[in-house]
Structure 1
Amino acid sequence: MKPGIRPHTRSDLQQWVRERLDLRPSDEHALLEALDNVVLGHERLWKQSKEEAIRAVCAGSATRVNRLRTELSARDATVSTIARYFEFLVTDLTDQVHRDPKTQLMNSPRFLDQLETFLALEQRGPWCAVGLVDITSFKSYNDTLGHAVGDRIIGRVAQLLREQVRSGDLLARDAPEIRDGRELHARFGGDEFCFLIPDLDHAETARLVAERFRTAVECHDWSTEDARLASRRVTVDVGVVCLRLDAARERQPIARQLAEALLARADTMMYMAKGTSAADVYPMQVRVEQGRLVEFERDERPK
C-alpha cells in the first residue's frame, strides 16, 4: 500500500499489518486471525440484517423495518468502536516496534528514519546537530555491580538525556504543536544513545546543550540508584557534529546517506572525546558539498 493510505478492506488491513509492523511470524498470524474473526463476524451480521430488511419491506412490515433500522444503527456504532480500537491497537503495536523497551526512547532504526526525513525537508534554522553518547567504562559497572545496576544507570542516563536535550528550548516558539511532538533521542544500542538538535541559530548552541547534558550526568546523585555508586561517579562521552542546513534540494536525494554519515562522524567525535577525558564537547562543523559531507576549516567556520 502507498504511504499514508489507510486500509479499508480486510485484505488492505492484512497488507498494512505486514508492511508496517515488524512482528514475529507467530504474532503476525495471531493478530491477522483476530482481525479476521472480528471483520468476518461483522460482515455476517451486516449481511443478515440486510436480508432481514429486504424481507421486512417485501412483507410490508413497517414496525419490523424500524426495529431493523435501530439494530443497524447500533451495529454501525459497534463497528465504528471496534474500528477505532484496532486503529489504536495498530498504532500501539507500531510504536512498540519503534521503541526501546528498557528506556522507552526510539530505537536506532527509527531514529535513522526520522533523521533521514528531517534532512530531506526544509528547516527553519540554519544549523542542526547530531550527537552520539556512551557511558564511560560501562562494562565495569555491569561486571562489578551486576546487570540490575547497569540497567538502572542506562535508565537514568536516558531520562537525563530527555530532560537536557529537549525540544522546548530549541525549536521555534511559534509552533508549539510541532515543538511538543518531536522526539529527539534514541537508544542506539547497549550503553549508547543518539540525539538530534534541530533548528539552531548557531553551531555553538549545540556544544552548550551537549555540555549541559554531560554535566547533568556527572552531577547526578548516583547513590540514589545504588549506594555503591556514591564512590563511582558515572560520566558520559559525547560526540557532536553540526550540519549547516543549506537548500533542502541538495540534501533530498542523499538524505539517507547523510543521516548515516552524520552518525558516523558523531561516533568519531565521541571516541575522540574519550581521549581528552571528556572534559569538554568540541563539535565538528560540516556542510554538504557535491553530495557529501565536508568539514569546515577552522578559519572558515561561520561565527
Structure 2
Amino acid sequence: MEASEFTPRPLDRSAKIYVAGHRGLVGSAIWRKLEAEGFRNIIGRSSSELDLKDRGAVFDFFESEKPEYVVLAAAKVGGILANNTYPADFLSENLQIQVNTMDAALVNDVERLLFLGSSCIYPQMAPQPLKEEYLLTGHLEPTNDSYAIAKIAGILQVQAIRRQHDKSWISAMPTNLYGPGDNFSPQGSHVLPALIRRYDEAVQNGATSVTNWGSGTPLREFLHVDDMASACLFLLENYDGPDQVNVGVGSDVTIKELSEIVARSVGYKGAMEWDSTKPDGTPRKLMDISKLAEAGWTAQIGLCEGIQQTVDWFRANQGTFRS
C-alpha cells in the first residue's frame, strides 16, 4: 500500500450519508461518531423498514434518497456456534446484502463507500500478525468459512468497481469488536459478550463454577466499537486505495486471560472450567495494523476499560438489547 493512498480528503458534513446496519453494534457506533463530528444528514433504515436482501427495495431506496456517502456495516453476524450451524445462511444472506447495496450505490453514483469486513477473511494458518497481503493465500478457518467467503467477495466487488468505474470506494477489516449494542444472545453472540453474560448470570445466581467453551488458549485481539467508528471516519477522509485496511489494536490476549478480565469486571470470584470438546476456532488472529498506524490513527480505549464500560452498559440495558 503506497503512502500516497493516504491523503486528506474531508467529507462534506452537510452531504447525505447512509449507514447500512445503523442499529447494529458497528453501525450504531458509526452513527454516534458521525453525529459527534457534525454530520447533519445521516440516514438509516431498520431491517423491518428496508430488507437489504430485497434487491428491488434496495434500488428503490437509493433512487429515492440519493446518498452521497455510504457505510456498509449491515451483515448477518454470529459466533462460532451460529457460523458453524448455519453456513448457508451466512453465505447467502451476506452476499445478497453486499451485492444489492453496492449495485444500487453504483447505479446512483455514490461518491464514497466504505465496506466493512472481518479478520476471518485471512487464512486459518496465516503468519501472525495478519498483513493485508495475506488475503487469498491459504485455507480459511472451517467454522466460519462461509461468512469469510462472503466478506472476501465484498472486498473484490469494491476492487472491481474501482477498476471498472473509477470509484473511490474502500474496504476496512476490523478485528474482533465489542461494546455497547453488542449481541448477548446465548446462541448468536461472539466470545466477549457471551462471557459477559455467562459471568454476570453466575454472579446473579450465586454460581460457584463457570464452564467456558474450548481450551482457553486461542489468542484474540479486541477493539472497542467506538474506536472502530473513529477509524471508519478516518479512512473515509484519508484513504483511497484498492486494498482492504486492517483495523485493530496491535495486541492480543488468550481467551483465558479475557475471561479473567470479564470475571473481575462483573465481580465473579468462583471457579473457571474449560470444555475442550468444544471448538477453539483459529489459534490466533492478530492484525498487522502498521499501515493504519503509520497513517496516523491508533485506538484509544484500553481492553480493561472497554470491557468495564460494556459490562456497565449490559447491566443498565437488561431487557432492551438483543438477547
Shorter-chain TM-score category? under 0.3
Question: Please, what TM-score do these two structures have when normalized by structure 2?
Answer: 0.25
Greater share of residues in helix: 1
Q: Which has the higher contact order (CA 8 A, sep 6+)?
A: 2
Question: Please, what TM-score do these two structures have when normalized by structure 1?
Answer: 0.26
